[in-house]
Structure 1
């Protein structure tokens, strides 16, 4: 992951502290370690954010912020990644988690009526929740591990690719200087 690319889009801690609506959490986000962009902090932030995004619970952003504080990873990334499950993607993701849970438990998948209502969901909650929670936890753990490993590999590839480009430029510069020197002699 290119650090400069991430820094360009991330909010600055000072701007967040100056906002009136967020002043109450200023002491919690004052730790500079929560704003670092290292391979470890970004990979762990992806793990925390993706894990919290897969959980069918309210206040996912608060849980992600607490997880970022505990694991000392990048706060902004872990909170931002929770929005993987936004109002558009949430039904599909949670249905997929429910389906995985029913597969693991060996339970039948409940067929939804043609019109889903809150009453139907409330009546089916005792049958829906165990597979949904299990499927969400399994998906969250697997995706968090994959995200962490993936970010670390991408970051490592980016750094090695950058070093190879630098080495090639230095070699070309050296060859150009040697060619100019040979022309003078």
Structure 2
């Protein structure tokens, strides 16, 4: 299965990579044909790597997934594009769920927030204490649960995306063969 002809013009050739002053030093690695072939395993692995690094790494997601794709010989465009699973729209919900998952896995008790009407003094005191903590202190408090949750989610969604892409690939292949066989009968 190959990409549509309109898509192929966006995929750089090895010659274009060698001519680019920013990517010329990477051309020996990026010029490998296995990184650009649209095969079931290459695309599924590329998407899985992109989803994994897109969820786990908050910055430099594309370079991290590209390096992993080169090392593991996955499809490079699929790896780079699938890092956008985490974007400004999905960032907050993903990190919130990861933090909550990390708390559950680590056995931390959920914070109990009393309603403002029932205990306004206690709530005000708690908010004042939280404001006095610096940014780094607050980050340190949520760091371990967040990293544990992100690691679990990145691994689970990466594996899930590999299986899903493989199943879709097999289903589309089966459907094409079924339609081709039906036309002959």
Q: TM-score range by the shorter chain?
A: 0.7 to 0.9
Which string of whole-angstrom CA distances, capped at 9 and with x for unpartnered residues, describes residues 70-117 of structure 1?
A: 111001110111111112221221111111111111224568x7xxx9
Change (3 A) 1:107 1:38: same
Change (3 A) 1:16 1:87: farther
Q: CA RMSD of the aligned region, Å?
A: 2.5
2:11 counterpart residue number: 12
Change (3 A) 1:106 1:159: same
Structure 1 residue runs without a partner (length 5+):
172-185
Change (3 A) 1:76 1:4: closer
Change (3 A) 1:16 1:57: farther
Matched ranges for 1:45-60 at <5 A:
45-60=46-61
Which string of whole-angstrom CA distances, capped at 9 and with x for unpartnered residues, describes residues 35-75 of structure 1?
A: 01111101111110111011143211111011101111001
Structure 2 residue runs without a partner (length 5+):
114-126
Normalising by structure 2, we get a TM-score of 0.78
- Whether the aligned pair in 1 keeps the contact of 2:48 and 2:158 (CA below 8 Å) is yes
- Whether the aligned pair in 2 keeps the contact of 1:101 and 1:135 (CA below 8 Å) is yes
Normalising by structure 1, we get a TM-score of 0.78
